[in-house]
Structure 1
Amino acid sequence: MNEFRLLPRHAEGLVAESLADTRVVLVNGARQAGKSTLTRLAGKKQPDTIVRLLDDPATLRAAQEDPAGFVDRDSGLTIIDEIQLAPELLRPIKMTVDLDPMPGRFLLTGSSRVLTLRTLPDALPGRMEIIELWPFAQGEIDGQPDGFVDAAFRHGPDIDHSSTLRRRDYLERAVVGGFPEAVRRSPRRRSAFFDSYLQTLVERDVLQLAAIERHGEMLKLLALLAGRVGNLLVPATLAGQSGLSRTTVVRYIELLQSVFLIKSIPAWSPGPTFRAVGTPKLAFVDSGIAGHLLGQDAAHLDDPGGAAGPMLENFVAMEIARQLTWTQQRARMYHYRTKDKVEVDVVLETPDGRVVGVEVKAGATVRTEDLTGLRNLAQKLDDKFVAGYVLYTGKQTLPFGPKLRAVPMDALWRLAP
């Protein structure tokens, strides 16, 4: 069991920067990802800060009965935790910051994508900055720089990294995931946390967004989704396997994305003339949750019939997604798959069209055919292709031709930007 300690978050600097020049800052992300701790640390550095916890029933009633009075302050920072519980506060917040445009007036947290709620009033356009907070990245857990994305675009294929980790070490990290409570618990207690977390998410958070008639259907779909990690997200297929209607599956998937449990990775295409598949790919925001739903610990994942490949692909993709919330290099994450089933697990594209491709392999050996998708991508993009990496469980960086390298997986968090 890990000793409790506060770990520095990469997002802490982003919150401070945003409060210095923005009227309203929203820290949005999964429940139990550490939003409350982060915002309270930020509040201690601001003069005249008050904290309002909407999880407290009395505080929530006050917010709902008198929204304008609840946010009425002449100066200072107001932190409001779990703003999705009282979206009626957003309109008086807007009026307050319009009357006094000083930066750093409100710091909000949310555990659902509050800006997508149909009942939301117009949501502070131009007045609010949104910072996504994910569960811990591996570099935050280990005190490492988490600089792979910036390094890949800055140095191209010139990255050289070696590792002492083995495949089993990576699988252990994947089943722990990044939730602070999960990171510091023993395996048995971690399983209890995941059970409680999923029950709370379905019975409380999802119900706040929409009426769900049968909770069992949602939990059944979750288990099914865990078994399809890394596959294309096709509602019709899921409907056939679950016995639910396609409409219900689409609705449930939207809700699960809204509470930051799953993520849809969009498909990438270099243009309309290329034969790329446009279907998104499924990922779980936290690999520990996915492993728990599968009922597989690191030892079972490592068995010949285990799900090591899909789990490590999910693990890598979500580590990259975390990094994209703080990297200097702006980029978006996609996956790539042609109609001939040539694919690349992760495609990172900058606003000016430069691309880094990442393929994930659970093995400690890389074969030339493992780079088929990256070569296809490099051929289509020419000079716009910065580099292609196979992240694998071996220990050395290996060249596989111009701009192509196999690199140990822990380069994700050990490389400096």
Structure 2
Amino acid sequence: MDYLPRIADGLLADRLASAGAVLIEGPRACGKTRTAEQAARSAVYLDRDETALTALQVDPSLVLGGEPPQLVDEWQLDATRVWNQVRAQVDTRQATGQFVLTGSSVPDDDARRHSGAGRFARLMMRPMSLFESGDSTGSMSLRALLAGERPSVPSVDVDIHRTAELVVRGGWPLNLAMTPTQAAAANRDYLRTIAEVDLARVAGSRRDPVRVGRFLQALARNTAMEHVVERLVGETISDAPDDAGSLTKPTAYRYQDALTRLMALELQPAWSTHLRSRSRLRDKPRTHLVDPSLAAAALDASPAKLVRDLNTLGLLFESLVVRDMRVYADAIDATVSHYRDSDNLEVDIVVEARDGTWGAFEVKLGTGQIDAAAASLLKFAAKVDTDKVGAPAVLGVITASGYGLTRPDGVVTVPIGALGP
């Protein structure tokens, strides 16, 4: 299929202009290699070319001597050798834009591998946002909202059935041309590969696919909720005698670490800020797989099933919005977190730019929930010590459909089909 432009294209160009090598990391099949190919003038694919892996052991310069920028795909297959040779080449050439390394897992730390400071820039890629896949107009820009602009858009009609389809399909480039049924099957296969192949590869020993599957299901059931490993472990235990699928807490932590290294699991951290009140901040992250389609696949949820279970659909919709917000925040060098305090006041998304500018958003599936969400945001804003962190640039409610406008109370409503970078 034709290449669809990615927000990472511009980020990659910027990093190639400022560093000798750029490391693009992200989950398998999110589009890293295609994006890197748009900037590269030569390429070596270590997962496809066994002779290249052999040559690396004999004379790395034979493999890493292509015209720059040279793409080195799946570099982690010989991580220490590639890393150190690329670093040496960058030092020798004394020029930016020499290499692009792509990888779908984070290798173990290796004392022989130089930190790369001053030579390497890093770029995280995720599955496609709705703006990148063409399912959002992008007319309500996150950058503009944080800059104080208040764009307005006509009603965006993404009905509940289409929302469920977008959740199940996910942001995987290869899924865009598939039917929801085909995409759901592809995502189940993706999880099966993680359980049967990938986890063992990054963890260094065989893992029981049944236990991994149970853990993935527990993560999916806890999407957009506070991440508590003890609760996840409890959800893997069944009433069946001699249950072979339950987990211990140490095993759950090992699986969590491996899924994080595969970039299939990306927890949403809690926002640390100053409060006016005596409330205490909670510091636990929220559970999110890197794409809501993986949670849907773990739950074996079709669009029709999700429409019949609006609570689950609402949580997976929130995960979809978090995925998109992370992509858009990367474009403006911002972070995405959440807020919860000891009074159980919660905010789904807090976006904070490097200069301290910040905004807060609630995510609601239905427009009938907007009033309550807006009241919650205003209550939250009153708790934050704005003398220390500044006033919020925007308070917004992100919905599946409806109008993009500014309410009389100042809260902005943002339909997901209009949100963009």
Deviation at 1:276, TM superposition (A): 1.4
The gaps in structure 2 that reach 5 residues or longer are: 237-245
Structure 1 window deviating more from structure 2 (83-92 vs 12-21): it is 12-21
| Aligned match for 1:41, one of 38, 42, 46 | 38
1:393 aligns with 2:400: yes
Q: What per-residue deviation string (whole Å, max 9, x for no partner) do you get for residues 133-170 of structure 1? A: 221111111184476320210135x2322313223222
Alignment check: 8 A CA contact 2:364 2:370 kept: no
Which residue identity does 1:324 align to in structure 2? A
Contact 1:268–1:278, Cα closer than 8 Å, also in 2: yes
Q: Of the candidates 24, 29, 39, which is equivalent to residue 32 of structure 1?
A: 29
1:256-275 superposed matches below 5 A: 256-271=259-274, 274-275=279-280
The match for 1:220 is 214
Does the aligned pair in 1 maintain the 2:217–2:298 contact within 8 Å?
yes
* Shift in Å, 1:102: 1.2
Counterpart residue type for residue 83 of structure 1: W
Matched-pair contact (CA < 8 Å) for 1:261–1:285: yes
Q: 2:113: which partner in 1?
A: 121
Q: Please name the residue that 1:46 is paired with.
A: none
- SS of alignment partner, residue 324 of structure 1: helix
Which of 190, 193, 201 is equivalent to 2:183? 190
**1:377–1:385 contact (8 Å) kept in structure 2:** no
CA distance in 2, matches of 1:188, 1:304: 18
CA contact (8 A) 2:397 2:412 kept: yes
- State the match for 1:379 in structure 2: 382
Asked if 1:180 is matched to 2:173, the reply is yes
Q: 1:252 aligns with which of 255, 259, 271?
A: 255
CA distance in 1, matches of 2:301, 2:252: 25
1:55 matched to 2:47 = yes
Aligned residue pairs, count: 402
Equivalent-residue separation in structure 1 for 2:251 and 2:361 (angstroms): 33
The structural deviation recorded for 1:200 is 2.5
Q: Distance in 1 between matches of 2:153 and 2:228?
A: 37
CA deviation string 1:216-254 (max 9, x = no partner): 211110011111101111112112222322222122112
- Matched residue of 2:124: which SS? strand
CA distance in structure 2 between the aligned counterparts of 1:70 and 1:223, rounded to whole angstroms: 45
What does residue 242 of structure 2 align with?
Answer: none
Tell me, yes or no, if structure 1 residue 317 matches structure 2 residue 322: yes
1:44-193 correspondence to structure 2 within 5 Å: 49-56=41-48, 58-59=50-51, 61-62=53-54, 65-66=57-58, 68-71=60-63, 73=65, 76-88=68-80, 89-114=82-107, 117-118=109-110, 121-142=113-134, 144-145=137-138, 148-155=141-148, 158-162=150-154, 163-193=156-186
1:17 counterpart letter in structure 2: D
Distance in 2 (CA, whole Å) between partners of 1:103 and 1:160 is: 41
Q: Distance in 1 between matches of 2:355 and 2:57?
A: 48
Among 6, 20, 25, the alignment partner of 1:23 is: 20
Percent identity between the two aligned chains? 26
Instruction: Flag the 1:108–1:367 CA change in 2: closer, same or farther, 3 A.
Output: closer
Match of 2:361 in 1: 358
Provide, for residues 27-59 of structure 1, a one-character-per-residue CA deviation record: whole Å limited to 9, x for no partner.
21111111121222212xxxxx33111112513
Q: Following the alignment from structure 1 to structure 2, what is the Cα–Cα distance between the partners of residues 145 and 398?
A: 14
CA distance in 1: counterparts of 2:10 and 2:356, whole angstroms: 28
Q: State the secondary structure of the residue aligned to 1:90.
A: helix
The aligned counterpart of 1:308 is 313
Q: 1:267-287 CA distances to partner (integer Å, 9 max, x unpaired)?
A: 113138641111000112111
CA shift for structure 1 position 132: 1.6
SS state at 1:332 partner: strand
Q: In 1, are the aligned partners of 2:199 and 2:207 still within 8 Å (CA)? A: no
- 1:294 matched residue in structure 2: 299
Q: 2-side partners of 1:173 and 1:255: how far apart? A: 27
Contact 1:368–1:400 (8 Å) recurs in 2: no
C-alpha RMSD of matched pairs (Å):
2.4
Q: Provide Cα deviations, 1:87-133, integer angstroms capped at 9, x if missing partner.
A: 0211122122112211122111011134x635671231111111222
The equivalences for 1:270-289 within 5 A come to 270-271=273-274, 274-289=279-294
Between the aligned partners of 2:311 and 2:375, the Cα distance in structure 1 is: 24
SS at match of 2:50: helix
Residue pair 1:67, 1:92 contacting (<8 A) in 2 also = no
Q: Does residue 410 in structure 1 map to residue 417 in structure 2?
A: yes
* TM-score, normalising length: structure 1: 0.89
The 3 A distance-change label for structure 1 pair 187 and 57 is same
Cα separation, 1, equivalents of 2:176 and 2:64: 39
Distance 1:246 1:67, change over 3 A: farther
Q: Secondary structure at the match of 1:410?
A: helix
Using the size of structure 2 for normalisation, the TM-score is: 0.88
- Offset of 1:308 from its aligned partner? 1.4
1:343 maps to which residue?
A: 346
Q: Secondary structure at the match of 2:337?
A: strand
1:42 alignment partner AA: A
Q: Distance in 1 between matches of 2:370 and 2:100?
A: 50
